[in-house]
Structure formats: structure tokens, C-alpha cells
Amino acid sequence: MAHGAFRMVFSWQFWRMALLWTGSILFSRLLLLFSSSTWPWPWPSPRAGNAGSGRICVVTGATSGLGKAAAIQLARQHYHLILAGRNPELLIQTTQEIKELGLNCLVEPIQLDLSSYISIKNFQLSLKQRLSDLGFHHSIQLLVNNAGILANSFRETPDGFDEMLATNYIGAFVLSNLLMPLLKNSPVPSRVVNVTSFTHRCAFDLDVYEVLYARRKGQNYPCASTYEHSKLCLLLFSYELHRRLHLEPTCHVSVMAADPGVVETNIMRELPLFISRFSLFVLRILCLLQPPEIGVNSIIDASLAPPEASGKYFFGGKCRTIESSSLSGDTEIAEKLWSASSAIFKEMESNANQTISS
């Protein structure tokens, strides 16, 4: 363990996190002070808790940190919750905890591993079945793509991708596309919220194919830059999905990106204990660290803001948006990423169909 921490402290990736990530959160805070926009709430008092009455939302990574905090806040708005998580025990435990709050909503756990296409497909089928069993309309109103990891080594997914990229981006792309018919079928406006990160600002270029198909095995896994790229991809996807949906005249699905800032969660669980504890200590001293109950505000803002805020980047709570990096607004790269991701999606789909039929 000490050896791992020692090696990490002397790696470029560590200093990238320590210096560039701190710089980018400070930059985001500056943007918040000098050039943020505030969106009006569509309800007189959304925090009073009736925004989601009878509506259904899916929250991925709902068993920990921001996902759990978001699920609780959305339950307070009377959204019916579909909790999606990869660990069945944690899912049951989280479901129980939320039910014990006695909020007026339904809480249903469904297992989902975003690093596996088969698992995402099974989730889609289970969700449709659950909606039928519960007698609900065949639609959902909100999808919060929150699940994410900060991995410290290359691990190959069953579909052949880097696990961090697959969980943070490819899985969210596939899930959003598989659930799009349910979002479009909603009788009221519906929404996708993608939980991204200020660290996307540290990615200064994006070679789409190199990032999507990267297989960096061995000790020099670029954990910081892979995380940054995965969050940049999720943000490019948010904006591209927004643009595409708004070309459809009757479409009422909006797409928001949410950046929670720096939040004390389990996200650093794979880093050596000394490094994660020391980082939290420094971030607390710099007054940059927030508890999940505060960090979640940008996710809730993005979930409840008026549909006209589609395509915006929520940061800092109080329904405020700021500009994301100029690279994230590059429409050419976004289109390239979309077609590469669609090709991956189609290939996964056909591989799965072949496996089933053989």
C-alpha cells in the first residue's frame, strides 16, 4: 500500500490531479463569480417538493455519494425512484434507507452494471417489465446518468473497453439511447441529466478513436487523463444529444449537464488511502470540499430547471449555469464522437444478439 502511494506521488498523473484539477475547480468558481447565468424556477417553490409528483426517474450509481443524495432529493420532490446500481446488497440497503424516510414515493431497485452492454440491455427490459407490473404509463420522465469511477488501473470490460471509460461514458451513451423511447413516450416533458466534472477542462485535445479504444495496461495507467477524457466525452455527448433532439420538432426531451464541484464521496476509493486522505485534507483547507448534500444541488437544479435550459452546464447550485471548456463545445468533435459511439453501440447490440441466437 505504502509502495503504491509512493509510486503515485512521483507520477505525472498525481501532479496532474493535484495541480490541474485544483486549477480547474478554481477557474470554474471564478466563472461562477463573474459570468454565471441563473435560471428561474418554473414552480413558485420547487424545494417545497411537488415537482416530480407521479413522475418516474432513473438514477444510476444510486448506492453511494452523489447518486444517493440525488435520489433522496428527488424522492422529496415526490419522484418515483428507479435506483440503478451494480451491487445488489447495496441496492437493497439504499432502497430500505430511502423507504424509511417515509417520503411519498415508490422506490424500486434494479441491478445495472454500466460497464457491460448485456447488463444495460437487461436493465432496460427489467425497467419496462417493472413499469407494466406497477401499472405505470410506458414512459420515464428523468434519467440521471450519475454513476462513475476514478480507476487506478486498466481493466477490460466484457465488451473490450477500458472500465473507467465504459462506466463514465460508453455506458451512459448506451443507456440513454436504450431508454430514449421511454423518455420520448412521456406525456409530459422529460429529461436526461449527465453528471460530468470540472476536470473536463484539463483535457486539451480529444482523439476520439484513441480515447475510445485505449488499452493502456501496465503500471503507467493514465488515471487522471482517462477520467478527464471520460467526463469530456459525456459533456460532448450531452450537447450533441441536445442539438439532435431539438432538430425534432415534436421532441420534448431536454438534456442538461451537471457538475457537482468537489464532493466528499467514495470516488477516490481506488487511490492509495494516504493519497485520498491527504487530498481530502488539502481540499478541506482550501474550502473546496463539499458534502454530498450540497454538491448534489447542481444535479437537482439540472433536473428541475425549465426545459429552455436544455444544453446548459449547471454548476454551483442556486440554479446557476456557467460555460464549459471550448473543446466541449466543438461540434465537429461531438459529431465524430457520436458516430464512433453509435458504431460501438451497434456492434455491442449485434454481438449480444449473436450470443443469444447461438
Which spans of this chain sit near ligand NAP (rule: CB under 6 A)?
Answer: 60-61, 63-67, 85-87, 90, 112-115, 146-149, 167, 195, 197, 260, 262-263, 265-267
**Residue 285 C-beta: closest distance to ligand NAP, Å:** 16
Least distance between ligand NAP and beta carbon 157 (Å): 9
User: Alpha-carbon dihedral of residues 172, 173, 175, 181, nearest 10 degrees?
Assistant: 140
**Shortest distance (Å) from residue 263 CB to ligand NAP:** 4
- C-alpha torsion sign, points 198, 35, 306, 173: negative
Q: How far apart are CA 80 and CA 108, in angstroms?
A: 8
d(CA 319, CA 298): 7
Burial label, 4 (beta-carbon count in 10 A; 0-12, 13-18, 19+)? middle
The answer to whether the CB of 294 falls within 8 A of the CB of 16 is no
Closer to ligand NAP by Cβ: residue 81 or 195 = 195
**Beta carbon nearer to ligand NAP, 98 or 186:** 98
Which CB atom, from 197 or from 324, has the smaller least distance to ligand NAP? Answer: 197
109 touches 96 (CB < 8 A) = no
- The nearer residue to ligand NAP, 83 or 334, going by C-beta atoms, is 83
For residue 170, the minimal CB distance to ligand NAP (Å) is 11
Smallest gap from Cβ 147 to ligand NAP, in A, equals 4
**Identity of the residue, 140 or 258, whose beta carbon is nearer to ligand NAP in the bound complex:** 258
Q: Look at residue 186 and give its three-state secondary structure.
A: coil
Q: What are phi and psi of 134, to 5 degrees?
A: -85, -5
Say if residue 41 is exposed, middle or buried (CB neighbours under 10 Å; 0-12, 13-18, 19+): middle
Q: Is 156 helix (H, G, I), strand (E, B) or coil?
A: strand
- Cβ-based nearer residue to ligand NAP, 147 or 182: 147
- Give kind and range of the element (H or E) at residue 142: strand 142-145
* Contacts for 254 with CB less than 8 Å, ≥ 6 apart: 189, 190, 191, 192, 242, 245, 307, 309, 310, 311
Nearer to ligand NAP (CB atom), residue 51 or residue 235:
235
Shortest reach from residue 335's CB to ligand NAP, in Å:
24
Q: Which is nearer to ligand NAP, 72 or 267 (CB)?
A: 267
Minimum CB separation of residue 259 from ligand NAP in Å reads 6
Task: Work out how close the CB of 250 gets to ligand NAP at its nearest, in angstroms, rounded to a whole number.
Answer: 31
Q: Which residues pair with 143 in a beta bridge?
A: 58, 192
